[in-house]
Structure 1
Amino acid sequence: MTELAKSFDPAPIEAHWGPLWEQRGLYTPTLDPSKPSFSIQLPPPNVTGTLHMGHAFNQTIMDSLTRYHRMLGHNTLWVPGTDHAGIATQIVVERQLQEQKLTRHLLGRKNFVARIWEWKEESGTTITRQMRRMGASVSWEHEYFTMDEKLSKVVTQTFVTLHEQGLIYRGKRLVNWDPVLKSAVSDLEVESEEEDGSMWHIRYPVDGSDETLVVATTRPETMLGDTAVMVHPEDERYTALIGKNVKLPLTGRLVPIIADEYVDKEFGTGVVKVTPAHDNNDYAVGQRHGLPMITIFTLDAKVNDEAPAAYRGMDRFVARKEIVADLEAQGLLVEVKKHKLMVPRCTRTGQVIEPMLTNQWFVAMNKADPSVDGQPGQSIAQKAIDVVQSGEVKFVPEQWVNTYNQWMNNIQDWCISRQLWWGHQIPAWYGHDGEIFVAHNEAEAKAKAAAAGYTGSLQRDEDVLDTWYSAALIPFSTLGWPEKTIEQDLFLPSSVLVTGYDIIFFWVARMIMMTKHFTGKVPFKHVYIHGLVRDAQGQKMSKSEGNVLDPVDLIDGIELAPLLDKRTTGLRRPETAPKVRKNTEKEFPDGIPGYGADALRFTFAALASLGRSINFDSKRCEGYRNFCNKLWNATKFVLMNCEGQDCGLQTHEPGACASGGYLEFSPADRWIVSELQRLEATVEQAFADFRLDNVATALYQFVWDEYCDWYIEIAKAQLNAAKDLGNDQQQRGKAEAAQRATRRTLIRVLETILRLMHPITPFITEELWQTVAPVAGRKTAGSDESIVRAPYPTPDLSRIDPESDAWVAKLKALVGACRNLRSEMSLSPAERVPLLTVGDTAFVTQAAPVIKALAKLSEVKVLDEAAFTQATSMAPVAVQGETRLALHVEIDVEAERKRLDKEIQRLAGEIAKVHGKLGNESFVARAPAAVVDQEKQRLADFTATLARVREQFQRLG
């Protein structure tokens, strides 16, 4: 006999099965062209530390889908990897160097990059260890890093190809500039938050007159770079001034007054300054009107030589104060108002972003692709728009298509260069006079230079590519492209991309564009957009707020002190520690207890709705850990009653056994099998709809309510039925056939439950399945078969038995009525009393052993009308359908009259409601016939029950 531990302890189970699954190669995909294929790409986490709750949530969804399809027998590949995360990783390592009184410039580029590779090995190991702890069933032999040599070659090849096609170019354009990083940054690294600021109203003198225009600005320092002021062309206040010039304060430069519909006549004074080199909207205006673009800041945001000498070398914000003071001194400052404004800051450094004109590399988004038989084709962006519009790529939920289209239809050329040392160095070499030679390597660049007649030395571009460039290639670069591989044939496009809504544009759209352009295929068939994980109060998880949780801490548990350690929380500023302590101690006063990976995964699955955000509450983890323990204890009971016993496995299909034969299935046996088929159908549909919350909810309800709380309790009564049969061999043989059928149903349903649950809770299900499956005849004892590759249950709706469903529904109602009577009469669970019944004699007689056990009765007596009336003249009587029932105990007559009177009022109210519906001509005319019939039946049932309750009330005098 197998001995399971007294209670569920996840730690040793996870430590055993996690490594064993990998050693046995169970995650390696089959490569059978005759099978359906399922594949999924892991959004690669950055090698900047550890996985957070968002990663754990995302990976739970992906792993559940992967395990599900693997069990369906599909070729199944989940590709893991990590991203080099150029900016984030460089910042982390530079901070480490600061602690050692070093800088990257002191180390030099080669040594600095080597130091980052050392950090990558350390951080990457941490990340993969966390993934393993979560039970991620990725194909580790397909693991990649975006700076691996194979992927780097793809990066270079695609860059060279796009450049040859005229789709990559170098130019001077306005970009997001971080003056601390001294690099362009993508929109993803910029967050705009509302901050307190000011609105300065400045007087600009109109040249050749005494008139002035009052301009309102939140950034007075940028006026040094103004090249125009503008008004709305229909603003009558300023129509006569259009075409004239104003004298730019503090500089003396003359700039034109222009008209543009961009101006809001109703906002401020209706006059707007134009600084094309330092504002994105002004840049567009400047292009429309051919305005000069004057850059007034150096790359570290100090005032440059384009400005008056008095301000040169000042930091932009120091210059702001001096400029305002000078304007006031010259009588040009009209007023200053407090103003709320959106300030763009780099999420990596916290610095205010400065729009800056710099030379950068760009991918042309809207230029026609010239590679189709030498003729112009669609642009990269248009291809990506078309595949979503055609349904070749589907979004789940579908509403995100609107967001995608809005971005794509307004897309600008993509700035792909970064002024960093960590990343894929741009494969371009420069000559002395600015000649550019793009090539796969230096030798090829020299050959191209020679062919162009250039004989001088070459200098490689020091910039690196935007991290999102290599990330955009992942769908095909990780499958062996440009070589022809079977992985590309089977797994491109992948089945689904699982990601958050915050990177639809930055990653999803770019993967579609690049994959379609280079392979002609879409990267994935579905994009499942899930919400972002927030804390229990709906607040964004932030290290500075102290509400960040490490998923492994929730799995293992942790004492409070290490949780507040700087290394564990990843705090950037020690002053935030008190906030961390306050928030952490509030939720976990004794530290995190540790819930195990299965409970954490089930929590994430249950929260995986199609909403925007997920409020994570650790109390849910506790509840699902209890659920795991419930399953554990149920398995112990089933094994105790089935292992080593005849479980009726000689017959393969319960429906094939005749009554009185080898197996005698009760209505309850057939009912739980019916419920199992419904569960399987629900789960199948939920997986198809990417609704893991529906999967989790259906499994929880079935296992806890139907199987454990009802069927196992019924089974106990059925297994004990033979004890009182004496020597009647015929009756004993029939009872043994019934017990055999019960044991078969118990073990087979349990084994199916374990396979159904495995994608969400892999560890406990494997541990239990290894013991349950041999008893259920689903696995050879002692073999190394694993639930990981066991067949996933699929529904057989022909096995649904409506008669058994009705039988159990009636049983539940009667047991519920008995329990209500016990509660109303304040009977303790240990006090067993007789049940008296009249009405549905056949049913009560058949179900008596089960009713007795479930309602904790001493006996069940079926009486005729006269005997029941006499025995219950002073007893509380419940009415359930055709059956009246009473517990044979002394009663408080007055209390029972009050109870019955309350029930009469309730039933009368229900009857009135139904009369109201049926008396409403509009309802009867519009409602489906089935609904009207249902209401009529409810009326008949309520009326019959009311008559019986009134009769009982009358008997009490």
Structure 2
Amino acid sequence: DGTMNDLAGKYKGMDRFECREALLKDFEAAGVVDHIETIVHSVGHSERSHAIVEPYLSKQWFVKMKPLAENALKNQETDDRVDFVPERFEKTFSNWMNNIEDWCISRQVWWGHRIPAWYNNETGELYVGREAPKDIENWTQDEDVLDTWFSSALWPFSTMGWPNTEDPMFKRYFPTDTLVTGYDIIFFWVSRMMFQSIEFTGRRPFKNVLIHGLIRDEQGRKMSKSLGNGVDPMDVIDEYGADSLRWFLLNNSSPGADMRYVPAKLKSTWNFINKIWNSARYVLMNIDENQKLEELDYATLNLADKWILNRLNEVIRSVDENMDKFEFINVGTELYRFIWDDFCSWYIELSKLHLTGDDEVAKKSALNTLVYVLNTIVRLLHPIMPFVTEEIYQAIPHNEESIVISKWPEVNPEYDNETINDQFAYLIDIIKGVREIRHTYVIKNSIEVDYTITAKQDDLEALLKEIAPYVSKLVNATCVGYNVPTSKNNATEVIKGGNTLNIDLGQYIDMEAEKAKVEKEIKKLEGEIKRGEGMLSNPNFTSKAPAAKVEAEKAKLEDYRSKYAAAKEKLAKMN
């Protein structure tokens, strides 16, 4: 103002840096400078203009924090407490509350809630209140606004009709259930919502606080404008879809921990969603327009149907348990394995036996099970990937108008089966065993092979006969007996329970010729390994050759060693 300008005297109107130089010269001329030294310290700069920020003394509004903090800490000892996930962040909260300073809530910016304080134009009297003075023309409101965290701390209850605590929204939804936020704003937002909610409503603002970490770049650096390593989510969505991004974010971080943005994992997620989409196409190709979603008649189910439904019950229980604990990585892992391995890789392939067969009851059972399981899968996935699941839900038989209002899947105890997983393990082991023998001895998939089972248990035969048609369908292999003598050219694989799968190789390959091939390969690999080891042990090579060349030779040597180990194992099986 005019008074301050008058006080500036000869320095009036000078740039601050110019003024400092002039002032120093005047001090030196007056003989009042004792000494000058260089001090290194932190200097604040404007984020936008990069200009040095000067400290400026002024009057500010404060909130007295000690009583608010004490009430918040006391409330954490009651049943109305807020639970932090992970628990360790409650210590962060309590440490801050125990060491709290009074809170400066006034800000000199152009936006926000105006400070409810007025100054009388004639007397200079100060008035603070919820309502403006009645003779408002005689008063001037303070130009400061509330700290943004003060305003946002009102959110849990101000959005529900507060201060009208009889508002239906307030009565139904307050306190809310869960707040999800980053660990970097526990002080700024979470704690302030807690003590303000307790102060203004007498209750906690929410039951749980789920704390997540930050998303860092692939090298683990925090994303920032200065590094230019930020990622625009809209670009990711354009390339991979919103569902892929959501799945990636939810399944690559633990509560409270930072995560890295890895594009390759988004590609993998995109492939997973594509797998789900293709499974839905398979179901749609096999059902007609009259197909309905309904509970299944357990008495008519096939072995594969009973197995997938029992697994589905296990998955629902696991997902429910981990959702309640906010362990979303476990949720994603459970769903991924079930959908990719159990449903797509096993059940869909096994269902083809019944869908292409002549047994109409078995065909209907398989179709009903396919629809039931797929419908349940998309409902389990919906919170994580809402868009593709709604699209599939609308295409397949369903009950509710939208997946958004459909019921969360529940366990059907009728589908529980304590022995089915063990029974199904025989099927999986036999199929894997046939595939392993085909691979080891180079028997083409187009060649039908005969196998026998040497069983230790007397009661296995009925189950193995039930399994046999599935084995025939998946790996083109026919069971020709149980506990029968085997030939000298017999290849074996141990299956569940220490039982043995046998295939007489003499019908399909020339064993001696196959052995000779492997022995020749082993000899060749031994030569390559000897050459590589010699080269890498030669100082003239390792010190003079380009680093890239040395690394390439090391990689080649490791590859040869890996192939050599596999070939030796193959020959051992042949012998």
Find the aligned partners of 1:390 and 1:355 in 2 and give their Cα distance: 43
Give the partner amino acid of 2:364.
R
Give the partner amino acid of 1:768.
I
Equivalent pair of 1:534/1:616 in contact (CA under 8 Å): yes
Give the partner amino acid of 1:605.
L
Residue 410 of structure 1 is matched in structure 2 by 99
Q: Cα offset for 1:423?
A: 2.2
Correspondent of 1:715 among 351, 364, 368: 351
Residue 484 of structure 2 is matched in structure 1 by 865
Residue 745 of structure 1 is matched in structure 2 by 369
SS of the residue corresponding to residue 836 of structure 1 reads strand
Q: How does 1:637-786 map to 2 (within 5 A)?
A: 637-644=282-289, 652-655=295-298, 657=299, 663=300, 665-722=301-358, 735-774=359-398, 778=399, 785-786=401-402
Find the aligned partners of 1:878 and 1:682 in 2 and give their Cα distance: 33
Q: Cα offset for 1:427?
A: 2.4
SS of the residue corresponding to residue 679 of structure 1 reads helix
Q: Cα offset for 1:761?
A: 1.4
Alpha carbons of structure 1 residues 648 and 326: separation in structure 2 relative to 1, 3 Å: closer
Find the aligned partners of 1:304 and 1:612 in 2 and give their Cα distance: 57
Find the aligned partners of 2:48 and 2:100 in 1 and give their Cα distance: 24
SS of the residue corresponding to residue 801 of structure 1 reads coil
Residue 472 of structure 2 is matched in structure 1 by 852
**Greater per-residue helix proportion:** 2
Find the aligned partners of 1:505 and 1:317 in 2 and give their Cα distance: 40
Give the partner amino acid of 1:315.
R
SS of the residue corresponding to residue 359 of structure 1 reads coil
Q: Deviations over 1:175-207 (max 9, x none)?
A: xxxxxxxxxxxxxxxxxxxxxxxxxxxxxxxxx
Q: Cα offset for 1:471?
A: 0.8
Correspondent of 1:383 among 45, 66, 71: 71
Correspondent of 1:502 among 173, 184, 191: 184
Find the aligned partners of 1:390 and 1:304 in 2 and give their Cα distance: 61
Correspondent of 2:139 among 458, 482, 486: 458
Q: Cα offset for 1:814?
A: 1.5
SS of the residue corresponding to residue 494 of structure 2 reads strand
SS of the residue corresponding to residue 57 of structure 2 reads strand
Residue 198 of structure 1 is matched in structure 2 by none
Equivalent pair of 2:433/2:501 in contact (CA under 8 Å): no
Q: Cα offset for 1:333?
A: 4.9
Q: Cα offset for 1:738?
A: 2.1
Equivalent pair of 1:388/1:401 in contact (CA under 8 Å): no
SS of the residue corresponding to residue 452 of structure 2 reads strand
Residue 490 of structure 1 is matched in structure 2 by 172
Matched, 1:890 2:572: no
Q: Deviations over 1:845-888 (max 9, x none)?
A: 32122112222x2534336532xx23xx2243323231232254
Q: Cα offset for 1:531?
A: 0.7
Residue 393 of structure 1 is matched in structure 2 by 82
TM-score, reference length from structure 2 = 0.79
Residue 12 of structure 1 is matched in structure 2 by none
Residue 430 of structure 1 is matched in structure 2 by 119
Matched, 1:800 2:416: yes
Find the aligned partners of 1:836 and 1:694 in 2 and give their Cα distance: 39
Q: Cα offset for 1:508?
A: 1.0
Equivalent pair of 1:647/1:743 in contact (CA under 8 Å): no
Matched, 1:359 2:59: yes
Give the partner amino acid of 1:823.
H
Equivalent pair of 1:495/1:524 in contact (CA under 8 Å): yes
SS of the residue corresponding to residue 58 of structure 2 reads strand
Q: Greater relative contact order: 1 or 2 (C-alpha under 8 angstroms, separation 6 or more)?
A: 1
Equivalent pair of 2:443/2:509 in contact (CA under 8 Å): no
Q: Cα offset for 1:314?
A: 6.0
Q: Cα offset for 1:745?
A: 1.2
Find the aligned partners of 1:879 and 1:898 in 2 and give their Cα distance: 25
Find the aligned partners of 2:449 and 2:271 in 1 and give their Cα distance: 34
SS of the residue corresponding to residue 360 of structure 1 reads coil
Equivalent pair of 1:875/1:890 in contact (CA under 8 Å): no
Correspondent of 2:250 among 568, 581, 605: 605
**Greater per-residue strand proportion:** 1
Equivalent pair of 2:293/2:372 in contact (CA under 8 Å): no
Deviates more, 1:671-680 or 1:468-477: 468-477
Give the partner amino acid of 1:654.
D
Find the aligned partners of 2:265 and 2:331 in 1 and give their Cα distance: 16
Q: Cα offset for 1:401?
A: 0.6
Alpha carbons of structure 1 residues 537 and 739: separation in structure 2 relative to 1, 3 Å: same
Q: Cα offset for 1:691?
A: 2.2
Equivalent pair of 2:177/2:208 in contact (CA under 8 Å): yes
SS of the residue corresponding to residue 838 of structure 1 reads strand
Q: Deviations over 1:525-575 (max 9, x none)?
A: 11111111222222222233222222222222xxxxxxxxxxxxxxxxxxx
Find the aligned partners of 1:645 and 1:334 in 2 and give their Cα distance: 92
Residue 426 of structure 2 is matched in structure 1 by 810
Equivalent pair of 1:418/1:466 in contact (CA under 8 Å): yes
Give the partner amino acid of 1:423.
G
Find the aligned partners of 1:751 and 1:884 in 2 and give their Cα distance: 37
Find the aligned partners of 1:343 and 1:351 in 2 and give their Cα distance: 10
Residue 550 of structure 2 is matched in structure 1 by none
Q: Cα offset for 1:514?
A: 1.4
Q: Deviations over 1:449-501 (max 9, x none)?
A: xxxxxxxx432212222222211111111111122201111111010111111
Give the partner amino acid of 1:492.
F
SS of the residue corresponding to residue 482 of structure 1 reads coil
TM-score, reference length from structure 1 = 0.49
Give the partner amino acid of 2:419.
E
Deviates more, 1:462-471 or 1:398-407: 462-471
Find the aligned partners of 1:865 and 1:711 in 2 and give their Cα distance: 31
SS of the residue corresponding to residue 859 of structure 1 reads strand
Find the aligned partners of 1:323 and 1:303 in 2 and give their Cα distance: 20
Correspondent of 1:596 among 237, 241, 259: 241
Find the aligned partners of 1:876 and 1:748 in 2 and give their Cα distance: 40
Q: Deviations over 1:790-845 (max 9, x none)?
A: 110022456321221111112111211222222222345x5333132231454433
Matched, 1:630 2:275: yes
Alpha carbons of structure 1 residues 595 and 686: separation in structure 2 relative to 1, 3 Å: same
Equivalent pair of 2:451/2:477 in contact (CA under 8 Å): no
SS of the residue corresponding to residue 802 of structure 1 reads coil
Find the aligned partners of 1:324 and 1:794 in 2 and give their Cα distance: 83
Equivalent pair of 1:361/1:416 in contact (CA under 8 Å): yes
Alpha carbons of structure 1 residues 646 and 614: separation in structure 2 relative to 1, 3 Å: closer
Alpha carbons of structure 1 residues 741 and 429: separation in structure 2 relative to 1, 3 Å: same
Find the aligned partners of 2:46 and 2:573 in 1 and give their Cα distance: 80
Q: Deviations over 1:82-129 (max 9, x none)?
A: xxxxxxxxxxxxxxxxxxxxxxxxxxxxxxxxxxxxxxxxxxxxxxxx
Alpha carbons of structure 1 residues 437 and 669: separation in structure 2 relative to 1, 3 Å: same
Give the partner amino acid of 2:139.
L
Q: Deviations over 1:31-52 (max 9, x none)?
A: xxxxxxxxxxxxxxxxxxxxxx
SS of the residue corresponding to residue 229 of structure 2 reads coil
Residue 35 of structure 1 is matched in structure 2 by none
Q: Cα offset for 1:305?
A: 6.8
RMSD: 3.6
SS of the residue corresponding to residue 498 of structure 1 reads strand
Alpha carbons of structure 1 residues 860 and 354: separation in structure 2 relative to 1, 3 Å: farther
Q: Cα offset for 1:358?
A: 1.6
Alpha carbons of structure 1 residues 305 and 671: separation in structure 2 relative to 1, 3 Å: farther
SS of the residue corresponding to residue 118 of structure 2 reads strand
Q: Cα offset for 1:643?
A: 2.5
Gaps of 5+ in 2: 456-460, 519-570
